[in-house]
Amino acid sequence: MSSLAEATREQLMATNEQYQNLHKEHIRYAAELEKLTSKAYLSEEEKVEEIRLKKLKLWAKDQMEILVHQQAQVH
């Protein structure tokens, strides 16, 4: 991970509300996934929920990276 990208992430975290919200969502999805994956057995409904949460978590991360790249291009 480049230090420029990390610096950009830190700047966005401090100044960009959209980035902050995406970061919060990413953390929330990760916590919900952790609850599900800690179970020994998942019902079919829980398996579907696990897939949904993984997709949402990835989407949030992708959106955060788009913002990082956009910010890096500006500077």
Residue 3 confidence (pLDDT) = 87
Do residues 62 and 55 lie in contact, with contact meaning Cβ atoms separated by under 8 Å? no
pLDDT digits (tens, 9 = 90+) for 4-63: 889 999 999 999 999 999 999 999 999 999 999 999 999 999 999 999 999 999 999 999
Give the start-end residues of each E strand in the chain: none
What is this structure's pTM?
0.88
Q: What is the pLDDT of residue 75?
A: 67
Confidence of residue 1 (pLDDT cuts 50, 70, 90): low
Q: Provide DSSP, 42-63.
A: --HHHHHHHHHHHHHHHHHHHH
The C-alpha atoms of residue 50 and residue 42 are separated, in whole angstroms, by 9
pLDDT at 4: 85
* Backbone φ/ψ region at 41: left (φ over 0), alpha (ψ -120 to 50), beta: beta
- Please state the domain extents for the chain: 3-74
